[in-house]
């Protein structure tokens, strides 16, 4: 079913597609970064594709995971752990970001994938197309350090602001601990502690999108 | 003069609260000391009994252990039998902080604030291995045990602990509360006053021994 989507995409955006490494009926399109926003907008708005649901954006770090695509057998990598950089060669492009799209009406789905080299981790944001991309992109930024260019509020979403590094990268040390942090200032809507927006630290209100520029006095 | 036996506090006092023999209290009891001791014991017993049997808990429930907490509170295991009847959802009215579940680094300052908001006397129970030691969440996000930030009185292991284990932990905590000593003097005497008291005692003793 998704094969027809790929054919359609080949017709409309012939130079956006790098490859289509589908697997058992789950079709994957590897797209070029420059055309990502165009492709996404087309996939969402065209009635033939109607991929209005962005179910998830996922990040992948293939630190030393040799695959067919990156040269080397997939099974060779199982016995030596991924972070053993002395015995395994890191692969490039190292990161992948996958957009899992679906259509509720048409009952089909499609996965877009971007491949990123570790020296250039910038992606155009798709928050203008799917609003839900907002938190997903912050999540990918938080865990993998991928920078989404044009995102309205690219801050950490799960970890705290003082956290150093990106924990889901395969070369983040497994047992690394970071110091405990003091409490974050946040504007308690009733009579809260701490100075609130504009005061010390990053106010909780500004970690939520759409509230970044809201006047705290205007809350009710 | 041979050394007189050190006064042992009553009950099952934990090792850490034993008085070291050098600094232990009276060499010889005067009558007022004896009377004070008697009242102290009575008071400690009464306070311990009252406190141990009316533990209001503040459940700081963050993760899956909460299920077991519900089961412990509900009819089948019924924590109310041990006097821990009411969960209070404000720390200011609670005696026992139950840390039920995983504490991650982002949450740790909140836990600390909740602990600091509780009024004295207060006790803390770490419910499950996550609260006790981080458990198997040996990773970047989890605080490796609530005792990194606040003192914990009793650790209940298990993932999650069975209700019987929790009841056992509660009884151990009650034992600890019952055996706590309460001093009639809440204000500590200064060094000089204590020395003067010693002097007085010695003079008094000397009179007696020389007689
Ligand atoms: S100890 Fe086990 S059951 Fe309890 S919070 Fe941790 S993981 Fe969940």
Quick one: pLDDT band at residue A69, thresholds 50, 70, 90? low
**B69, B101 Cβ separation under 8 angstroms:** no
- Would an 8 Å CB–CB cutoff place A164 in contact with chain B? no
> Can you give the three-state secondary structure of B135-199, one letter per residue?
CCCCCCCECCCHHHCCCCCEEECCCCCCHHHHHHHHHHHHHHHHCCCCCCCCCCCCHHHHHHHHH
Q: What is the pLDDT of residue B18?
A: 56
Q: Please give, rounded to a whole number of angstroms, the shortest distance from the CA of A5 to a CA of chain B.
A: 40
Index of the ligand 1 atom closest to the CA of residue B62? 5
| Cα gap B29→B201, rounded to integer Å | 9
Residue B90 DSSP one-character state: S
Looking at per-residue confidence, does A92 or B157 come out higher?
B157
Phi-psi label, residue A174: left if phi above 0, alpha if psi -120 to 50, beta otherwise = alpha
Look up residue B115 and give its two tokens.
């602990």
* Residue B189: other Cβ atoms inside 10 A: 11
Look up residue A56 and give its two tokens.
């998830």
What DSSP string describes B51-80?
Answer: HHT---EEEEE-STHHHHHHHHHSTTT-GG
Flag whether pLDDT at A215 surpasses 80.
no
Read off the pTM. Answer: 0.73
Looking at per-residue confidence, does A167 or B32 come out higher?
A167
Share of chain A above pLDDT 90, in %: 32
From atom 3 of ligand 1, which residue's Cα is the shortest distance away? B160
Strand partners, A122: A147
Q: What is the pLDDT of residue A185?
A: 61
Q: What is the pLDDT of residue A189?
A: 52
Domain A2-149 in CATH: superfamily?
Answer: NADH:ubiquinone oxidoreductase Nqo5 subunit (3.30.460.80)
**Residues 6+ away with beta carbon under 8 Å from B156:** B125, B126, B127, B128, B132, B165, B166, B168, B169
| Cα gap A132→A29, rounded to integer Å | 21
Within 8 A of B141 by CB-CB distance, chain A residues are 158-159, 167
- Average pLDDT over all residues of chain A: 79
Query: pLDDT per residue over A6-55, tens digit each?
Result: 889 899 988 888 888 877 778 889 999 999 999 999 999 998 888 999 99
Looking at per-residue confidence, does A193 or B113 come out higher?
B113
Q: How far is the CA of B132 from the centre of ligand 1 (A)?
A: 10
Q: Which residues of chain B have pLDDT under 70?
A: 1-30, 33, 183-190, 209-211
Question: Do B138 and A183 make contact, defined as CB atoms within 8 angstroms?
Answer: no
**Residues 6+ away with beta carbon under 8 Å from A174:** A83, B139
**Residues 6+ away with beta carbon under 8 Å from B73:** B79, B80, B87
Question: Do A181 and B140 make contact, defined as CB atoms within 8 angstroms?
Answer: no
Look up residue A187 and give its two tokens.
């504007």
- Would an 8 Å CB–CB cutoff place A74 in contact with chain B? no
Q: What is the pLDDT of residue B88?
A: 87
What sign does the dihedral B39-B40-B43-B44 (CA atoms) show? negative
What is the distance of C-alpha B141 from the center of its chain? Answer: 30
Q: Which of B102, B103, B105 to mutate to test the interface with A (most CBs of A within 10 A)?
A: B105
Q: What is the pLDDT of residue A81?
A: 65
Q: Which of A177, A185, A188, A194 to mutate to test the interface with B (most CBs of B within 10 A)?
A: A177
Residue B35 DSSP one-character state: H
Give the chain B residue whose CA is nearest to the CA of A159: B106
Cis peptide before A128 (omega within 30 of 0): no
Query: pLDDT per residue over B162-186, tens digit each?
Result: 999 999 999 999 999 988 877 665 4
The candidate with the shortest Cα–Cα distance to B94, out of B121, B68, B66, is B121
Q: How far is the CA of A157 from the centre of ligand 1 (A)?
A: 23
Flag whether pLDDT at A181 surpasses 70.
yes
């Amino acid at each position: 079913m998704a094969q027809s989507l790929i054919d359609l995409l080949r017709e409309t955006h012939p130079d956006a597609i790098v490859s289509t490494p589908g697997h058992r009926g789950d079709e994957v399109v590897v797209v070029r970064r420059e055309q990502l926003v165009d492709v996404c907008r087309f996939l969402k708005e065209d009635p033939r594709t109607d991929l209005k649901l962005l179910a998830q954006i996922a990040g992948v770090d293939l630190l030393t995971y040799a695959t067919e695509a990156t040269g080397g057998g997939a099974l060779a990598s199982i016995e030596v752990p991924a972070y053993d950089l002395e015995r395994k060669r890191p692969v490039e492009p190292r990161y992948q970001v996958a957009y899992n799209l679906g259509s509720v009406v048409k009952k089909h789905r499609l996965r877009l994938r971007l491949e990123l080299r570790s020296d250039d981790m910038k992606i155009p944001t798709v928050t203008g197309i799917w609003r839900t991309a907002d938190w997903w992109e912050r999540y990918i930024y938080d865990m993998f350090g991928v920078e989404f260019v044009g995102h309205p509020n690219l801050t950490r979403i799960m970890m705290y602001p003082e956290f150093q590094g990106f924990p889901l990268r395969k070369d983040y040390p497994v047992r690394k601990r970071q110091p405990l942090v003091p409490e974050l200032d946040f504007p308690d809507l009733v009579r809260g502690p701490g100075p609130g927006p504009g005061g010390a630290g990053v106010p909780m209100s500004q970690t939520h999108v759409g509230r970044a520029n809201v006047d705290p006095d205007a809350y009710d | 003069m041979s050394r007189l036996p050190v006064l042992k506090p009553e009950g099952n006092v934990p090792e850490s609260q034993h008085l070291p023999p050098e600094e232990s209290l009276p060499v010889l009891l005067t009558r007022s000391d004896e009377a004070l001791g008697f009242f102290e014991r009575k008071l400690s017993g009464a306070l311990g009994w009252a406190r141990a049997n009316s533990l209001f808990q503040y459940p700081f429930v963050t993760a899956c252990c909460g299920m077991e907490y519900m089961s412990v509170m509900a009819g089948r295991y019924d924590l109310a039998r041990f006097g821990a009847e009411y969960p209070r959802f404000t720390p200011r009215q609670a005696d026992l902080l139950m840390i039920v579940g995983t504490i991650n680094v982002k949450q740790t300052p909140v836990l600390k604030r909740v602990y600091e908001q509780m009024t004295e006397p207060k006790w803390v129970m770490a419910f499950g291995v996550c609260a006790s030691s981080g458990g198997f969440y040996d990773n970047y996000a989890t605080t490796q045990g609530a005792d990194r930030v606040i003192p914990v009185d009793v650790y209940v292991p298990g993932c999650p602990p069975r209700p019987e284990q929790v009841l056992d932990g509660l009884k151990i905590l009650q034992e600890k509360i019952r055996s706590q000593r309460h001093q009639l003097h809440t204000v500590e005497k200064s060094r000089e006053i204590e020395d003067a008291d010693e002097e007085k005692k010695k003079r008094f003793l000397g009179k007696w021994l020389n007689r």
